[in-house]
Amino acid sequence: MKILKFKTTINCNGCMLKAKRVLDVPEIDKWEVNVDDPDKILTVSTEVLSSEEIIDKLKLIGYKAETIS
């Protein structure tokens, strides 16, 4: 299982509901956004998706994401 982390522009519960459309997929085992963190950290658990694929999914719905270590 890979754990991927991203700095995002997902900043509220409404944003998380919108992100749910592209992140609630079989390829993602679990995801969560810490909206209390200034960097709005998205953590994704996946076996198959790459960081770039997740970033592209978020771009489709208008959010920016940047991989962090």
Q: What are the pLDDT digits (tens) for 1-60?
A: 999 999 999 999 899 999 999 999 999 999 999 999 999 999 999 999 999 999 999 999
Of 22, 2, 28, residue with least CA distance to 63: 22
- Residue 61, domain CATH: 3.30.70.100
Instruction: For Cα atoms 22, 4, 60, give the angle at the middle one, nearest 5 degrees.
Output: 25
Structure tokens at 11: 């900043």
Print the domain residue range for 48: 2-68
Q: How many domains does the chain have?
A: 1
DSSP assignments along 16-38, one per residue: HHHHHHHHSSTTEEEEEEETTST
Q: What is the pLDDT of residue 36?
A: 93
